[in-house]
Structure 1
Amino acid sequence: MDKRSFVLSQVVAGSLNTIADEMSATVTRTARSPVFNEAHDFTTAIFEMKDMKSRLVAQSPGCTLHLYAVAMAVDRAIDAFKYDLQPGDVILASDPYNGGTHIPDLVIVTPVFHDRKPILFPAVRAHMGDVGGPVAGGYNPHARDVWQDGLVMPPVKIVERGEKRADMFDLIVANNRIAHWINGDLDSMIGACQLASRRIGELFDRYGLDTVRTAIQSNVDYSERRVRAEIESWADGEYYAETFVDHDYQGQRDVKVACKAIVKGSDLTLDFTGTDPQVKGFINSPIANTMSFIFIGLTTCCDEDIPINEGCMAPVTVIAPEGTVINPNRPAPVGTCTCSAGAEVTEAVLLALAQCAPKRVGVNAHKMPLAMSYGSYDDERMWVFLNFIGFTGGAGAAYETDGWGLYPPLMTGVILPSIEMTEIQYPTRILKHEYVSDATGAGRWRGAPGLETITQHLVPNQTSVMMEGVRHTAKGMVGGEHGASNRVYLATPDGVETEIPEYAFMHPLEAGGAIRTIRGGGGGWGEAMERPPEAVREDVIDGYVTRDGAFADYGVVIGEDFAIDEAATRAARAERLSRAA
């Protein structure tokens, strides 16, 4: 490719990514629900139709775990309406077994035509505050099938030739507990796709269809070359790892996710044979969700300047046996798949790749304890509160990098909601939100500290808690220690606490009752005895690690004046290394 063509391809690719960014800004600024406009729990992307299949060509940083799953949703939309796609159509879908993840993640997609042919498909996948079904918010640990997760929506047109279909909107709103938010949220997603349609039309007018498609292909090919070069730098071989979900909420414990990574030249096969069969509970991960978590695992092992598009997955072959917890058959419930077993898919991939690419793995931690509450405002409108502030914490370490931030990379782009806005929008007070000492996974580079959050509700409500990461905590990498356990307590107004070992279902909390969440820290990377004593000292000064913790985890002796006792430290570390040998 000559220099002019390369520059033009980058201009077009940059334009498409900018369009995706503008879609994201549109949703943020126009949506009604705090899940969108505060927490940013959505993703925007643009897909190209090629040979009647969609492929990812541009994206805006959002909730990363959504991203690659959208491709399958767009495919199903194309399949459903391939003989009846018209300019101005907008398609909605949220069927886990038809390109979806869990039902709350709803997809909006619209075709953009050129010369009477659909070429590009801007899309938004977003977590809705409620999706009907028997339980507010869509997390039902008692679900026995997918219909008890929420309202299943196959691909349907909600806008046809530019005209909103009132019948479909009425159906969706009638099955939603927070109708005062859902209309505005849908409008924001539709508006984002319609804006993208106009911008893409301008791109076609400026450069022409052939130039745009050539630029897209060039950018996809570039990403594939870069990812293949990364894989080729890893040693050929077969690398096996397994990890576990604590339980399935219906009695089965220690649910295994197995992964064999087979590296051969620039090709990577990820074989999940050996993973446990699908379970009764709602942790099953449909294939679109599983593919998205695989995508996360692979891309976090590659240079961050590689454009995120379909080329990233071209070198990868996935074997995901049907009927397993990572590729279940309908109608297995899937309500919490974006937490588990989805997160364990990424974890198993990274644990396998740690054996051939140790300096590339880390930072995965998504063992989130979920707490969801619902009640009514004074005017009897319902509120549904997904406690994003209580989810924070758990980012693991990577080579040359301590764990950082409040959300792990699986949720890159999700934003910590404003505490002040949370207290305005809900009858809620956040009484505490701070790091916890001695809750990091120790290592040459340590995980992010754990966090304690106390959320008090000012009105009577029903609260459900779904625990993960209690026994099988965030994994350390390359000899790093695992993160600490998650803990959640429900408290009465007078402060009497009850710890939730696995889950609580629609537990009545009185006005003034509270949820106390202690999120375990992320896993470490590398041997803890290799962490420089000065780095441990700084952690003690910052309060991430206590003096006792510094000695217990790192063999570093620190005095009351924060000075390192170098002789005692050398002796302690030498003694531990001799024991390990």
Structure 2
Amino acid sequence: MKPNSTDDYDPVALEVIRNAIKSTAEEMGVTLTRTAYSTNIKDRKDLSCAVYSKNGELVAQAEHVPLHLGMMPSAVKAALKEVDSLNPGDSIMHNDPYLSGSHLPDVMVFTPVFNNGERVGIVGNLAHHVDVGGSAPGSTPPDATEIFQEGLRFPPVKIRKDGKVDPEIVDIFLNNLRTKEVSKGDLSAQISSNLRGKNNIVELAKKYGNNHLISNIDMILDYSESRMRNSILEIENDVGAFRDYIEGDGILSESTDIPIEVEVKISDDEIYVDFEGTAEETEGPLNAVRPLTLSCVYFVTKAVVDPDLPTNDGAYRPINVHTPEGTVVNANFPAPTGIANAITSQRIVDALLGAFKEIVPERVMTASAGTMNGVTIGGEKPESGEFYTYVETYGGGQGAMHDLDGMDGVHTNMTNTRNAPVEVLENTYPFEIKQYGLVENSAGSGKHRGGLGIIREILIRNDAQVTVGTDRNRHRPWGSYGGNDAQGTNITLTHPDGTTTSLGTKQTLEVDAGSTFVFETAGGGGWGDPLERPPEKVLENVKDGYISKTIAEEEYGVVITNSEVDYDATKELRQQIQE
């Protein structure tokens, strides 16, 4: 889409600027990961980096964590309202969920970009710190009933003024944390990342001029809007609705269902999303603030309507979202928000996919693991007495599609972090990793099977606090069109005396040295009748250890003898099952 004046329109320069801005966001991410201290950021890449217009509109975001799609623009715009003035050399820090939509461990740092005294853009990043205080290591206690129990909440403040870091603000921040040195290093890495991005945008402004750069940023946003509208027009006007559930909120029993209900309407070149009927905000920390819900909507819409669409604010102008106030998708202060990122966001996505499935089934996968499977272990290192906090989210099975099996043991939907390597964990924390692999038979069977979940077994060598925030134990990831549901989440703790306890999906507990923690994540749902899966694929999965011979017979109707398919017996068995 061209501007009103064609004087600034140069299609070659526009494409160069667009790619330069996107590359800047990626380069900021590399800088942040290479200079960070914590395993959660430098190894797992629990972060996002982005470039914004001078008014805080998202122009480009690196391919990091989809959850941050709607959060980071909200956080920037909120910061611009809260801070009186921005000058060259300033940087703003904040982690207020009611402004950003995230939870307290997600600390955001934004830096304005000036050239010749004029603001031409903003660069920013978000990084998940391993601790920001609160009642439990990791700052996401599942039993929190108000935000104050979850840690330190910073309003937008200038962490840098005139090019110098404010030591008093840094001291206030660090004085409330369990992991001071690690968080100090991560905060410095965030500031360095922004400086790298700022320098790149200044170079663009010097090369093309301020006015030309600003007008091209506007064109980038307008192009994405136009492309999104055209892509929506390719879908027939229709309505789809779906309801899914979360199992308890950390305070309410896990037998209590918390519904997420959504209706999606396609109307010409716009999409209307309505969460009417969703549960009221919960006492426990499952509460999403509106920007988090918007992130989920933007992610699903992009994935379903136009996966290759550039990620920016322009793309989401045709999307209209109703989030009833005071519900679990639009909670109010001081409702706790700590585990909404890991659980509520994923259930919102599942509900949205279920609604879109009624409109464009060939574009939608079945339910994936449905939770980020948050795990935090905190304590003191026995050799030094230094506090440590291990934070990780575990992958699971991806849902199947009409023409594809789901991927095994991956992060899906709103999360895109890496796993923490076993070697790093054992060198950094007082752990021994006893087992790490895929969970046999955890995938939902189907013509196209779902992905397998993950098992991780950790021997904890010292007394510690363990926090888990997960879901999908009773309401297992659903299959579609005859495909079966996947296996759900299962967590156990084996005590030093050899006794084993089944753990809930949302709890914090004290564990003794020598305890073994075992976490099995959910798989992905299957697509289509399992009896239509080619026997050769079933045999391959048995040989790989993905499914057992028993499941091959009972769910797929495939008889395997001496590591080969018995085709006659298979034909007979499938006929019996169908009858």
Match of 1:534 among 533, 536, 555: 536
Q: Comparing 460-469 with 567-576, which one deviates more in the overlay?
A: 567-576
Q: Tell me if 1:404 matches 2:401.
A: no
> 246-255 or 225-234, which moves further after superposition?
225-234
1:324 maps to 2:327? yes
**Deviation of the 1:551 alpha carbon:** 2.1
| 2:145/2:283 contact within 8 Å kept | yes
Gaps of 5+ in 1: none
Q: 2:39 matched to 1:37? A: no
Tell me which residue corresponds to 2:527. Answer: 525
1:367 and 1:474 in contact (8 A); partners too: no
Residue aligned with 1:483, SS: coil
Alignment deviations for residues 507-538 of structure 1 (CA, whole Å, 9 cap, x no partner): 2x222211101112112233333322222222
Does the CA-based 8 Å contact 1:361-1:477 persist in structure 2? no
Structure 2 length normalisation: TM-score? 0.94
Q: Does the alignment pair 1:24 with 2:29?
A: yes
1:172–1:287 Cα change, 3 Å? same
Shift of 1:396: 1.8
Is the CA contact (8 Å cut-off) linking 1:131 and 1:176 kept in structure 2? yes
* 554, 557, 567: which one aligns with 1:555: 557
Letter paired with 1:540 = V
59, 63, 66: which one aligns with 2:65:
63
- The Cα shift of 1:425 comes to 0.8
| 1:418 Cα offset (Å) | 1.5
Q: 1:179-218 maps to which residues of 2 (within 5 A)?
A: 179-218=180-219
Hey, what's the Cα distance between the residues in 2 that align with 1:226 and 1:527?
36
The whole-number CA distance in structure 2 between the counterparts of 1:223 and 1:412 is 23
Alpha-carbon shift at residue 359 of structure 1 (Å)? 1.5
In 1: Cα distance, 2:23 partner to 2:436 partner: 34
What's the TM-score once normalised by structure 1's chain length? 0.94
Q: Cα deviations across residues 299-328 of structure 1 (Å, max 9, x unaligned)?
A: 221443321112321221000000001101
In the alignment, what sits opposite 2:235? 234
1:450 aligned residue (443, 448, 453): 453
CA contact (8 A) 1:75 1:99 kept: no
* Alignment match of 2:267 (pick from 264, 267, 278): 264
Query: Does structure 1 residue 430 correspond to structure 2 residue 424?
Result: no
Partner of 2:85: 84
Query: How far apart, CA to CA, are the structure 2 residues paired with 1:415 and 1:314?
Result: 31
Which segment is superposed worse, 216-225 or 33-42? 216-225
Return the alpha-carbon distance in structure 1 between the equivalents of residues 151 and 324 of structure 2.
26
2:14 paired residue number: 9
Residue 370 of structure 2 aligns with which residue? 366
2:527 corresponds to 1:510 = no
Give the match's secondary structure for 1:294.
helix
1:171, distance to aligned residue in structure 2 (A): 0.3
C-alpha separation in 1, matches of 2:189 and 2:326: 37
| Aligned counterpart in structure 1 of residue 488 of structure 2, from 482, 485, 489 | 485
Distance 1:207 1:405 in 2: 46
Q: Deviations over 1:474-521 (max 9, x none)?
A: 2324443222110001112343211113444232x2222111011121
1:382 aligns with 2:387: yes
Q: Deviations over 1:87-141 (max 9, x none)?
A: 1111011111112311111111111123433231111111110011222111112
Residue of structure 2 aligned with 1:255, choices 231, 236, 258: 258
Q: In the superposition, relative to structure 1, how do residues 113 and 480 fare at CA in structure 2: closer, same or farther (>3 Å)?
A: farther
2:467 aligns with 464
Secondary structure at 1:323 match in 2: coil
- State whether structure 2 residue 337 is matched by structure 1 residue 334: yes
Offset of residue 274 of structure 1:
0.5
Match of 1:163 in 2: 164
Residue type of the alignment partner of 2:494: A
Give unpaired runs (5+ residues) of structure 2. none
| Aligned-partner SS, 1:137 | coil
In structure 2, the residue corresponding to 1:334 is in which secondary structure?
coil
Distance 1:129 1:446, change over 3 A: same
Q: Could you tell me which amino acid in structure 1 is paired with residue 423 of structure 2?
A: E
1:10-69 deviations in Å (ceiling 9; x for gaps): 21111011111111011111001111111111111111134xxx2211111112212321
* 1:293 and 2:296 aligned: yes
C-alpha deviation, 1:421, in angstroms: 1.1
> How far apart, CA to CA, are the structure 1 residues paired with 2:569 and 2:231?
43
Match runs of 1:333-352 below 5 Å = 333-352=336-355
Q: 1:229 and 1:441 mapped to 2: Cα distance?
A: 35
* Secondary structure class of the residue paired with 2:57: strand
**Equivalent position SS for 2:100:** coil
- SS of the residue corresponding to residue 98 of structure 1 reads helix
- Secondary structure (helix, strand or coil) at the match of 2:524 reads coil
Q: Within the alignment, does 1:176 sit opposite 2:181 as a pair?
A: no
Q: Give the distance between the partners of 2:129 and 2:522, measured in 1 at CA.
A: 27
Deviates more, 1:482-491 or 1:357-366: 357-366
Letter in 1 for 2:35: T
1:267-293 Cα shifts (integer Å, max 9, x gaps): 110100010111111101111111112
Distance in 2 between the 1:367 and 1:86 partners?
A: 41
Alpha-carbon distance in structure 1 between the residues aligned to 2:211 and 2:539: 59
Number of residue pairs aligned between Structure 1 and Structure 2? 570
Task: Provide, for residues 203-255 of structure 1, a one-character-per-residue CA deviation record: whole Å limited to 9, x for no partner.
Answer: 11112223323332333233333332332222312211010001111125110
* Contact kept in structure 2, 1:10 and 1:215, CA below 8 Å: no
* Letter aligned with residue 536 of structure 2: E
**Structure 1 stretch 498-507 or stretch 236-245: which is displaced more?**
498-507
SS in 2 for 1:262: strand
In the alignment, residue 520 of structure 2 is paired with which amino acid? I
Q: Distance in 2 between matches of 1:296 and 1:577?
A: 39
Determine helix, strand or coil for the equivalent of 1:170: helix
Structure 1 pair 474/117, CA: closer, same or farther in 2 (3 Å)? farther
Q: Which range moved further: 22-31 or 411-420? A: 411-420
Of 498-507 and 261-270, deviating more is: 498-507
SS state at 2:359 partner:
coil
Inter-partner Cα distance in structure 1 for 2:121 and 2:572: 64
Is the Cα contact below 8 Å between 2:370 and 2:471 reproduced in 1? Answer: no
Aligned to 1:356: 359
Corresponding residue for 1:570? 571
On the 8 A contact 2:342/2:469 being kept in 1, the answer is no
Which segment is superposed worse, 339-348 or 211-220? 211-220
What one-letter code is carried by the residue in structure 2 that aligns with 1:5?
D
**Identity over aligned residues, as a percent?**
31
CA–CA separation in structure 2 for the residues paired with 1:535 and 1:221 = 46
State the alpha-carbon separation in 2 of the partners of residues 412 and 136 from structure 1: 21
Q: Secondary structure at the match of 2:407?
A: coil
What is the CA–CA distance in structure 1 between the aligned matches of 2:450 and 2:357, rounded to whole Å?
16
Q: How far 1:461 moved relative to its partner?
A: 1.2
Closer/same/farther in 2, CA of residues 398 and 56 from structure 1, 3 Å limit: farther
Contact preservation (8 Å) 1:436, 1:450: yes
**In 1: Cα distance, 2:506 partner to 2:266 partner:** 40
Moved more, 248-257 or 209-218: 209-218
Give me the whole-angstrom Cα distance separating, in 1, the residues matched to 2:174 and 2:504. 35
Alpha carbons of structure 1 residues 502 and 419: separation in structure 2 relative to 1, 3 Å: closer
- Relative to 1, partners in 2 of residues 1:553 and 1:234: Cα closer, same or farther, differing over 3 Å? farther
